[in-house]
Amino acid sequence: MFDRDIRNIMLIFVVIYIVIYINFYYNNPIKKHLHKQVFKLPFNDCCCSWWPISHFVLYGILAYLYPHKWKFIFLIGLAWEIYEIIFFTYFERKGVYHVIQSPSGKLIKNGNPISATLTDTIFNGAGIVTALALRKVFSK
Q: Give the per-residue pLDDT at 69.
A: 96
Query: Are the beta carbons of 123 and 56 closer than 8 angstroms?
Result: yes
Could you check whether the bond before residue 48 is cis, i.e. omega within 30 degrees of 0?
yes
Task: Give tens-digit pLDDT for 24-70.
Answer: 666 666 666 666 777 776 666 556 777 788 899 999 999 999 999 99
Q: Give the per-residue pLDDT at 52.
A: 82
129: pLDDT strictly greater than 90: yes
Domain tally, the chain: 1
For 34, the domain range is: 4-138
Residue 109: pLDDT band (50, 70, 90) is: low
Helix axes 50-65, 70-93, angle to 10 degrees: 150
pTM above 0.95, yes or no: no
Cα–Cα distance, 38 to 139 (Å, whole number): 32
Q: Is the Cα torsion angle 19, 24, 94, 37 positive or negative in sign? A: negative
Residue 105: DSSP 8-state: S
